[in-house]
Structure 1
Amino acid sequence: MGGKKKEVYILGHRNPDTDSICSAIAYADVKNKENDGNHYVAARAGQLSPETSYVLQRFGMRQPTYVNNIGTRVRDMEIRKIPGISEDISMKKAWNLMAELNAVTLPIIDADNRLNGLITINDIATSYMENQDSTLLAMAKTPYRNILETLEAELVVGDPEAVFEHGNVLIAVANPDVMENYIEHDDMVITGNRYESQLSAIESGAGCIVICLGAQVSRSIQKLALDNGCAVLVTPLDTYTVARRINQCMPVRAFMRTKNLITFLPGDYTDSIKDSMQNTRIRDFPVVDKTGQYLGMISRRNLLGIRKRSVILVDHNERSQAVDNIEDAEILEIIDHHRIGSLETMAPVYFRNEPVGCTATIIYQIYREKGFDIPPNIAGLLCSAILSDTLVFRSPTCTMMDRMAAQALSEIAGIDCQAFGIEMFTAGSNLKDKTPEEIFYQDYKKFEFGDVSFGVGQINSMSGGELDEIEKRLRPYLEKSCKEHGLSMMFFMLTNIIEESTRLMCYGESADTLVQEAFGRSPQAGTVWLKGVVSRKKQLIPAFIEAINKEAAV
């Protein structure tokens, strides 16, 4: 029982912090050790902060794969490997291929496998029903090899690589003296075994004679045809069948679609191609790569049978914080330590949510429960995440379990918690070269409560002077970001790790009122100093929720 393993992404929230990234990497290690038949890949839904980049570099780990949208792509669909055809092949051959492949559309490609056009079953039907012009075979520049193949004929005189490109197609049923009046130069004449009819057609300048019912061709007719540049074909078919099949000899290029072709790339998201597929009468669509190479065909029906991409979420459980298109993914598990938010799942999932200071603490417990050894570099990541989320045990979110886990992990990783914590925060707060936007989204989350929606960013620093500088740079950006996101309020926490306090920047009509209600202090010039407040999760958000609920109850 071989086969390709199903790929499952393990993802933290957008604008990921150190816990999101490190927990995703460690949990992917746990899941792959279980060897359940899936392949687990640590991923990230946003850019890394300087702190997280430092941690990954310090422990020699590569950054996770960037996934900003978990929606299904064309490459996740069943792409039918329908072979491409040359534009020279006959309509009849195209029709037979469709029947053989159970397809209603064939892609037409050039010698370099690039898409030239499409031919559909409707195009072929239309060519039979609507095209009765006797010059059409010539206008289509029909290769003789198509005529030989379609009429099951043998070329007695002439070049099989030649092309029929001048003249009408007509049937010789009249007397030779009448025929001479309507056969023109280069015409194709369908005739029987009558010597006189064959002779008259050649002498009238016909470009080709088709002799039906497998009749013998005399040597004198063959010589005369050769001398006059007239091709001679012999077919076992009767005149009626030849007349019916003759238009089927035409190359598909005469009827193929070449303009306004709808093609897709393997990386296109299926939610963005649905409208294109549904607003056209064509049922099948070519998939090409970025260089135009033909890869296969997809149909509308393939959209229905598409398998959702699978994902495990760590360090969040709210839709507003999740990667784009999370509602289109199959969520297998959620490992978190936050309040239970707005995410819904289609089926029951493994959901582990514990009131600890860091998701990494839960991952450490899972390693212990399963009896797996923790590699030193992963122990370093998990310890860094705990130190980051608990501000080296200063945050009120920190529990005894976090302390015990960090201590055990630090011994495996060979680091000292206090010294490494300072080293990590110093590296992470080096923000001189960062734009206001990069600083703002380094650790940003969006929250929704009823009809109130707001964003909260946070930066931790060991230096009050650095926070002063950041506040000046961020002030204009707070207003810009609030309007861009269409939120009612925007906040930014400038947290001083040493002083264990936060300067809270506020923007929005009701922002000052909310802060007054939550903390009993009113912001001055858009900022309020909150002593002892360092945790967004345990101190700021719960106070805001309580104030919003009080206001709603009035």
Structure 2
Amino acid sequence: MTVDVLVIGHRNPDTDSIVSAIALAEFLSIKGFKTIPARAGELNIETLKVLNECGLQIPTLVEDVRPRVTDVMTRDVKYVFRGTPVKKAIDLLNSIGIRSIPVVDENLRVLGLFSVESFSRTYLRDFISLRVKLVDVPLKNIVDVVNCDVVLGDLSSRVSGYVYVGAMSIETIKSKYSFKDSIVVVGDRVDVQLHALESRASLLIITGGLRPPNEVVDKARSLGIPILTSPYDTYTTAKLVDLSRPVEIFMDRAEVVSENTLVQDVINLMKSKLVRSVLVVNSYNRLSGIVTRSDLIRDYRKVVALVDHNELSQAVDGVDEAKVVAVVDHHRVSGDIKTREAILFRVEPVGSTSTIIWKILREHSLRLKNNILKAILYAVLSDTLLLKSPTTTEDDIDCVNTLSRELGIKLEDAVKFVRDAIALSEPKDVEDIIRYDMKVYDEGGYKFAISQVFTVNPDYYISMKDKLISRINEVVRNEGIKLFILLITDYISNTSYTVVVGDTTLFEEAFSTKVVNNYVVLEGITSRKQQVVPKLLNIISSRR
């Protein structure tokens, strides 16, 4: 079975994250994989402008990759309707080799679960009581299960009563038993047949395939009592009559979950309730599948390839429960994403993940569609701040120049397009500024966050400094962050106007500077990845 590979970037996706997901998905597709380019958050205006310019679709939004019931359930589930003879349910279990089967009403709404265990439990209870009693059993059930011929009776009628076998002499029966409102199973003993009718039995079943004499038929007709004839002997007939009871008598209460329920929650439910299977219903509350222990043995994890990040704190929710098959990134290696098998893991110190994808394509002598290559060109320019970032490498420059030439796009036109797109994407309100490109890091339990806004108009953000500090203080308190840094980066002057909240002493030690009223100007600092994170990690490590 071919499994979809979700190719996905980090939360708060930027242009490089989105374009590298699209490009790697296309590369893997050429290599024979079934892929879905995805995103872990909403897109900014810059990225939307790039996708629109290149004629590319917005990747699928995926906010959680934890496996859910819909990923593991058996959809082609067999079921029986309410009222089905229990023998038919047993035959179905045996014919397809399963241990349980759902019981539903006419609208496919779950009523319960019939299983080998539930049948055995109810049947044993009846066996111990030494009495078999039918309650409101459709006459049709008995006809179908016992393979009877109908002498008299309406198949839509229902019968109730204890089941008696008329095997003794008529004298003994009259002295010890009452057949009133009972189901009497008897052979060719006319005296017992007539006595059963005179006692107002609810049903007379004559065994051996023998037709009753006219006087018995006439008597039954006058009293309104149905008569059936069974092709089997009396013992077999009595056993089958017992198995004509509706399946719901033998079912257990079913544990029911929705298709969107987490697999881990199903596992916990099975353990706590000691059940072997759980039924699944759709949004209309109708049966749509079943999850058994067998379904949980196989590898049901979602398959993902990560681009432009390799840290759990930045990844889509649930990635620790997914099967990661590839990582392509240009950031530090955190080491907190674990895999069971060897994977494609490519991390290079370049300015853009899209540059690495471009290099992979060249190594495999592959060329993607021009619109994807055009997006790669824009993504590299965006992530390297128009090739001005200190993270820019010769590979990034080579990628941009080569694509510009091959696509027939003037480099100055591409630069202008990306510069305009970046300007359009600048966040305006306090919450958007803080969350716009926020990345959270967890280094040995020390949790810190860095947000960065690139602009050519830093004064706008500086004027909001007090409001930004106030809101960041709330974020620090509510989200367990020890240090929060907001970089307002003017990529023309190569200066970051920086708001620092929380553990300011660590920041001061890292940058050999003084933070005054949660604010400091860092000249020559534009790269979070290369110029900020490593300095912080060095101080965090030295404190241990």
Q: TM-score range by the shorter chain?
A: over 0.9
Counterpart among 529, 535, 538 of residue 537 in structure 1: 529
Counterpart among 413, 420, 429 of residue 423 in structure 1: 420
Q: Which residue of 1 aligns with 2:17?
A: 20
How much does 1:407 deviate? 2.7
Q: Which residue of 1 aligns with 2:198?
A: 203
Q: Which residue of 1 aligns with 2:369?
A: 375
1:491 maps to amino acid: I
Q: How does 1:155-194 map to 2 (within 5 A)?
A: 155-165=150-160, 167-176=161-170, 179-180=173-174, 182-183=177-178, 185-194=180-189
Counterpart among 500, 510, 513 of residue 521 in structure 1: 513
Give the percent of matched residue pairs that are identical in Structure 1 and Structure 2.
Answer: 30
Query: Residues 99 and 116 of structure 2 are in contact (CA less than 8 Å); yes or no, is this contact kept in structure 1?
Result: yes
Which stretch shows the higher mean deviation, 374-383 or 419-428? 374-383
Separation in 1, partners of 2:423, 2:439? 23
1:250 maps to amino acid: R
The yes-or-no answer on 1:489 pairing with 2:465 is no
Q: Which residue of 2 aligns with 1:143?
A: 138
How much does 1:142 deviate? 0.5
Q: Which residue of 2 aligns with 1:548?
A: 540
- When normalised by structure 2's length, the TM-score is 0.93
Cα distance, 1:474–1:409 mapped onto 2, change above 3 Å: farther
Counterpart among 465, 472, 475 of residue 471 in structure 1: 465
Q: How does 1:234-253 map to 2 (within 5 A)?
A: 234-253=229-248
Counterpart among 323, 326, 337 of residue 319 in structure 2: 326
1:153-184 CA deviation, whole Å, 9 max, x = no partner? 2222212222114x433233444456456435
Q: What stretches of structure 2 of length at least 5 have no aligned partner?
A: none
Separation in 1, partners of 2:104, 2:13? 45
Q: Which residue of 1 aligns with 2:267?
A: 274
Separation in 2, partners of 1:134, 1:27? 70
Counterpart among 430, 437, 440 of residue 443 in structure 1: 437
Query: Residues 73 and 289 of structure 2 are in contact (CA less than 8 Å); yes or no, is this contact kept in structure 1?
Result: no
Cα distance, 1:466–1:273 mapped onto 2, change above 3 Å: farther
Query: Residues 483 and 504 of structure 2 are in contact (CA less than 8 Å); yes or no, is this contact kept in structure 1?
Result: no
Q: Which residue of 2 aligns with 1:406?
A: 400
Separation in 1, partners of 2:531, 2:373? 28
Separation in 2, partners of 1:380, 1:471? 37
Q: Which residue of 1 aligns with 2:338?
A: 344
Give the 3-state SS of the residue equivalent to 1:56 in structure 2: helix
The yes-or-no answer on 1:307 pairing with 2:307 is no
Query: Residues 79 and 296 of structure 1 are in contact (CA less than 8 Å); yes or no, is this contact kept in structure 2?
Result: yes
1:115 maps to amino acid: V
Query: Residues 45 and 421 of structure 2 are in contact (CA less than 8 Å); yes or no, is this contact kept in structure 1?
Result: no
Separation in 2, partners of 1:449, 1:506? 18
- When normalised by structure 1's length, the TM-score is 0.91
Query: Residues 8 and 311 of structure 1 are in contact (CA less than 8 Å); yes or no, is this contact kept in structure 2?
Result: yes
Q: Which residue of 1 aligns with 2:7?
A: 10
Which stretch shows the higher mean deviation, 7-16 or 174-183? 174-183
Give the 3-state SS of the residue equivalent to 2:273 in structure 1: coil
Q: What stretches of structure 1 of length at least 5 have no aligned partner?
A: none
Q: Which residue of 2 aligns with 1:117?
A: 112
Query: Residues 27 and 368 of structure 2 are in contact (CA less than 8 Å); yes or no, is this contact kept in structure 1?
Result: no
Query: Residues 354 and 362 of structure 1 are in contact (CA less than 8 Å); yes or no, is this contact kept in structure 2?
Result: yes
Counterpart among 280, 285, 301 of residue 292 in structure 1: 285
Give the 3-state SS of the residue equivalent to 2:440 in structure 1: strand
Q: Which residue of 1 aligns with 2:250?
A: 255
Separation in 2, partners of 1:339, 1:111? 59
Q: Which residue of 2 aligns with 1:393?
A: 387
Separation in 2, partners of 1:221, 1:50? 89
Separation in 2, partners of 1:80, 1:23? 35
Counterpart among 212, 217, 226 of residue 222 in structure 1: 217
Q: Which residue of 1 aligns with 2:456?
A: 462
Separation in 2, partners of 1:514, 1:527? 14
Give the 3-state SS of the residue equivalent to 1:502 in structure 2: strand
Cα distance, 1:491–1:221 mapped onto 2, change above 3 Å: same
1:432-452 CA deviation, whole Å, 9 max, x = no partner? 3x5x33332221112222332
Cα distance, 1:54–1:196 mapped onto 2, change above 3 Å: same
Separation in 2, partners of 1:551, 1:198? 97
1:229-285 CA deviation, whole Å, 9 max, x = no partner? 111122233333333343221101223345xx3223333331232211221122112
2:18 maps to amino acid: I
Query: Residues 211 and 232 of structure 1 are in contact (CA less than 8 Å); yes or no, is this contact kept in structure 2?
Result: yes
How much does 1:55 deviate? 1.9
Give the 3-state SS of the residue equivalent to 1:504 in structure 2: strand
Separation in 2, partners of 1:495, 1:205? 96
1:273-311 CA deviation, whole Å, 9 max, x = no partner? 221122112211222221123222221231121333222
How much does 1:359 deviate? 0.7
1:119-164 CA deviation, whole Å, 9 max, x = no partner? 122221122111367997443x111121123333222221222211
Cα distance, 1:272–1:484 mapped onto 2, change above 3 Å: farther
How many equivalent residue pairs? 538
Separation in 1, partners of 2:93, 2:447? 55
2:372 maps to amino acid: I
Separation in 2, partners of 1:227, 1:60? 84
Separation in 2, partners of 1:330, 1:238? 61
Give the 3-state SS of the residue equivalent to 1:131 in structure 2: helix
Query: Residues 82 and 101 of structure 1 are in contact (CA less than 8 Å); yes or no, is this contact kept in structure 2?
Result: no
Separation in 1, partners of 2:366, 2:464? 43
Give the 3-state SS of the residue equivalent to 1:55 in structure 2: helix
1:427 maps to amino acid: L
1:2-57 CA deviation, whole Å, 9 max, x = no partner? xx6321111111222211111111111222233x2x21211111221232222222
Query: Residues 134 and 242 of structure 2 are in contact (CA less than 8 Å); yes or no, is this contact kept in structure 1?
Result: no
Query: Residues 327 and 346 of structure 2 are in contact (CA less than 8 Å); yes or no, is this contact kept in structure 1?
Result: yes
Separation in 2, partners of 1:172, 1:33? 77
1:365-392 CA deviation, whole Å, 9 max, x = no partner? 2222333334332233212221221111
Counterpart among 208, 232, 243 of residue 227 in structure 2: 232
Cα RMSD after superposing both structures = 2.3
1:547 maps to amino acid: I
1:172-221 CA deviation, whole Å, 9 max, x = no partner? 34444564564354321222211111111112222211122333311221
Query: Residues 469 and 501 of structure 2 are in contact (CA less than 8 Å); yes or no, is this contact kept in structure 1?
Result: no
